[in-house]
């Protein structure tokens, strides 16, 4: 018989059931043999007829045994190297388990060998907690006394303590893995962080679902940031998949508010990816996710979370509305922003109120462009000016500049529908204000976007005034924008290396960023107008002239097939005069799309910013 790596040879020789039985137990060199001496074998020479009464009287007190029986027990103690309690326990085992008479001595030796091995194994080991050490000591004492039941009960407690200790070690390992994830997040290595958070979730024991879900949340957030900040669409897709898994692990009935949080995060990831892809499927899914979140994020229960989700819903609807014909989606976006403002009040959360006012204005402008009249555009101007009451230059300089840029867009659009130049003058002033903080050194592409917008407003003014001063200023603004709007950085849709000049831009640039945890630029498609004043050497195939029947003042939407030539101002709009156009000026529509790189997104023609 081989036990725990050391050999124990048990020999049983019985001439008859009544004959004296002899059991010899030896051990190989370097191991332990029953009886204590590792070199000398122990022989048990006890006839079965002497064992029979001892087995029968195993539960009787020692004083109730005869002198001969007591002597036999003493002899067995010496042979087996165990105490009296252990020997009597062995007898009880033989009796309780109905071991056949002819196997008593064999089994006695076997039991003794296991008993001795157990005594050794019960020694405390390094790494044991104080409680486990105490329990093992008590179990050893019970074992030596022959109280195997108590020893077993104590070892059951040891096992429970060890399971708890192992569980704590696994939990601590998960915490350590998550801490590595936090370091990676700090270093902006979001992909590495996601791997660490996934490892943390895998280490969490099954009975700790909350901890596991928390690490899975962190993994999904890291993947979202990788996709959001580095233009990694694959990471965004992975984040969406993780959030959907989390929804299956976190049912609405079990944890309604956590479910709503996950729906909100899913909507944000879907909207971000949807902005980069063609079509509307992702954006529609985002709208559905935000509306699902609002089933639990009610105004009565979680007022500010309800407002945040209404704002996010407005962002998704606004992006969707920009891609669809009609105004229904944009109207829904306006309604969502106005709902958010019921709880995002200026007194309660001034900067969130200002953010939402900015977003409201950004939805109202395209809605106003698709409708006749100027009411929506006037509302947009009011919303932007409201936002500037809290988005001050001293407090949030870049946000202040963003809203100044957006205000300029709304004013310029109004100015093109009205006679006179007052609105256009205000637009120019707003753009120039934005450029005080949007410097080329600080935010080069935003600086270029605002220079581009400024050029468009100046061009519109120059077309209404005599002289060329405004037009000269417009040219200077466009040329400034082109210092950062290099064709290598912002290639157009269907960019062809054989047509390196394709993509020269002017026209107002728009970005409709939302402003909460979901905030990011919107790559909204916009129309672009390009002037080439008789420039020699410009390939004619790059210029697509104004379509037949176009009237001065009508613009053209860009980014979807067949958009060129479709009036944006709407029927009945007053376009305003376009005097003084030179014969050698070309009006061009350029299809334009921004790449997924996070540094470039959100700068297509006519930019509204958060």
Instruction: State yes or no: pLDDT of 16 exceeds 60.
Output: no
Q: How confident is the model at residue 181 (pLDDT cuts 50, 70, 90)?
A: very high
- The pLDDT tens digits of the residues spanning 373-406 come to 999 999 999 999 999 999 999 999 999 999 999 9
What DSSP designation does 99 have? -
Q: Global pTM?
A: 0.65
Per-residue pLDDT, averaged over 89-105, amounts to: 73
Q: What is the pLDDT at residue 47?
A: 65
Domain boundaries, given as residue ranges, for the chain: 2-121
* 507 Cβ neighbours under 8 A, 6+ residues apart: 452, 456, 526, 527, 528, 529, 530, 605, 606
CA nearest neighbour of 608 among 359, 347, 338, 279: 359
Q: What is the pLDDT at residue 508?
A: 36
Return the higher-pLDDT residue of 475 and 50.
Answer: 475
Q: What is the pLDDT at residue 66?
A: 63
Q: What is the pLDDT at residue 133?
A: 84
**Which range has highest mean pLDDT (418-427, 498-507, 601-610)?**
418-427
**Which range has highest mean pLDDT (26-30, 75-79, 593-597)?**
75-79
- The pLDDT tens digits of the residues spanning 552-581 come to 333 333 233 333 333 333 333 333 333 333
Per-residue pLDDT, averaged over 547-551, amounts to: 31
Q: What is the pLDDT at residue 100?
A: 76
Q: What is the pLDDT at residue 54?
A: 64
Per-residue pLDDT, averaged over 526-549, amounts to: 30
Q: What share of residues in the chain are helix, strand, coil (percent, to 5)? A: 60, 5, 35
- The pLDDT tens digits of the residues spanning 183-219 come to 999 999 999 999 999 999 999 998 899 999 999 999 9
Instruction: State yes or no: pLDDT of 591 exceeds 60.
Output: no
**To which residue do tokens 């500037």 refer?**
388
Q: What is the pLDDT at residue 26?
A: 41
3-state secondary structure 322-353: HHCCCCHHHHHHHHHHHHHHHHCCCCCCHHHH
In Å, how far are 9, 35, 507 from 32, measured between CA atoms?
Answer: 12, 9, 93
Q: What is the pLDDT at residue 143?
A: 78
Of 27-31, 147-151, 361-365, the one with minimum mean pLDDT is 27-31
Determine contact, residues 372/575, Cβ cutoff 8 Å: no
């Amino acid at each position: 018989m081989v036990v725990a790596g050391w050999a124990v040879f048990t020999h049983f020789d019985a001439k008859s059931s009544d004959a004296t039985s002899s059991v010899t137990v030896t051990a190989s060199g370097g191991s332990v043999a029953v009886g204590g001496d590792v070199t000398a074998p122990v022989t048990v020479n006890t006839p079965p007829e002497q064992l029979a009464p001892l087995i029968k009287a195993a539960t009787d007190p020692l004083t109730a045994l005869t002198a001969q029986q007591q002597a036999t027990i003493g002899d067995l103690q010496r042979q087996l190297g165990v105490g009296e309690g252990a020997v009597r326990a062995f007898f009880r085992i033989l009796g309780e388990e109905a071991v056949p008479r002819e196997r008593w001595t064999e089994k006695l030796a076997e039991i003794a060998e296991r008993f001795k091995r157990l005594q050794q194994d019960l020694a405390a080991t390094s790494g044991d907690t104080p409680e486990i050490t105490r329990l093992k000591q008590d179990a050893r004492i019970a074992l030596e006394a022959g109280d195997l039941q108590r020893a077993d009960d104590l070892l059951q407690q040891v096992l429970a303590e060890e399971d708890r200790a192992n569980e704590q070690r696994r939990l601590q390992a998960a915490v350590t893995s998550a801490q590595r994830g936090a370091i990676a997040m700090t270093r902006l290595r979001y992909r590495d962080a996601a791997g660490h958070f996934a490892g943390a979730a895998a280490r969490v024991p099954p009975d700790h679902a909350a901890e596991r879900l928390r690490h899975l949340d962190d993994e999904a957030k890291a993947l979202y940031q990788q996709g959001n900040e580095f233009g990694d669409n694959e990471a965004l897709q992975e984040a969406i998949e993780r959030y959907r898994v989390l929804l299956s692990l976190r049912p609405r009935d079990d944890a309604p508010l956590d479910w709503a949080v996950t729906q909100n995060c899913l909507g944000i990831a879907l909207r971000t990816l949807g902005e980069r892809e063609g079509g509307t499927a992702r954006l529609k899914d985002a709208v559905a996710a935000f509306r699902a979140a609002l089933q639990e994020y009610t105004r009565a229960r979680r007022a500010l979370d309800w407002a945040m989700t209404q704002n996010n819903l407005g962002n998704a609807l606004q992006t969707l509305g920009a891609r669809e014909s009609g105004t229904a989606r944009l109207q829904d976006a306006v309604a969502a922003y106005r709902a958010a403002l019921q709880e995002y009040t200026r007194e309660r959360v001034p900067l969130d109120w200002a953010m939402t006012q900015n977003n409201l204005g950004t939805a109202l402008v395209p809605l106003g462009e698709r409708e006749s009249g100027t009411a929506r555009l006037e509302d947009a101007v009011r919303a932007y000016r409201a936002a500037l009451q809290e988005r001050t230059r001293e407090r949030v300089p870049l946000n202040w500049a963003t809203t100044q840029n957006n205000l300029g867009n709304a004013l310029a659009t109004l100015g093109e529908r009205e006679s006179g130049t007052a609105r256009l003058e205000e637009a120019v002033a707003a753009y120039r204000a934005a450029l005080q903080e949007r410097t080329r050194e600080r935010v080069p592409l935003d600086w270029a976007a605002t220079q581009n917008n400024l050029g468009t407003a100046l061009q519109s003014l120059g077309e209404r005034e005599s002289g060329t001063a405004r037009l000269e200023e417009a040219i200077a603004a466009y040329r400034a924008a082109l210092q950062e709007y290099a064709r290598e950085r912002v290639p157009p849709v269907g960019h062809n290396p054989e047509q390196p000049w394709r993509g020269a831009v002017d026209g107002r640039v728009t970005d409709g960023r939302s402003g909460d945890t979901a905030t990011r630029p919107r790559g909204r498609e916009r129309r672009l107008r390009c002037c080439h004043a008789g420039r020699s050497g410009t390939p004619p195939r790059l210029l697509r002239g104004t379509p037949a029947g176009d009237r001065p003042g009508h613009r053209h939407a860009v980014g979807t097939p067949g958009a060129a030539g479709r009036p944006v101002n709407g029927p009945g709009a007053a376009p305003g005069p376009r005097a003084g156009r030179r014969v050698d000026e070309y009006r061009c529509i350029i299809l334009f799309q921004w790449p997924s790189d996070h540094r470039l997104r959100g700068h297509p023609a006519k930019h509204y910013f958060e």
